Amino acid sequence: MAEHRIFTTSVASVYPHYVAKVERKGRTKEEVDELIRWLTGCSQEELARGRKMERILRA
């Protein structure tokens, strides 16, 4: 069976879409980053690199 698309899509490819959506709703990129850090336990540096998030999403 083929791997589900969510597991083959990089965080880097969807991140700009999250930011654009929250900005349309009057929120900021920093708020997106804060939420993602809270959910994943990533630091800002790890978030910028995206590596740890990829591992978390595959788990």
pLDDT tens-digit profile of 5-42? 777 777 777 888 989 999 999 999 999 989 888 887 88
Cα-Cα-Cα-Cα dihedral sign, residues 28, 22, 19, 44? positive
Does pLDDT of 52 surpass 60?
no
Summarize the chain as % helix, strand, coil (round to 5).
75, 0, 25
pLDDT mean over 32-58: 75
Domain ranges of the chain: 5-58
Cα–Cα distance between 50 and 53 in angstroms, integer? 5
pTM, whole model, 2 decimals?
0.65
Q: What is the pLDDT of residue 29?
A: 92
Higher confidence at residue 28 or residue 57?
28
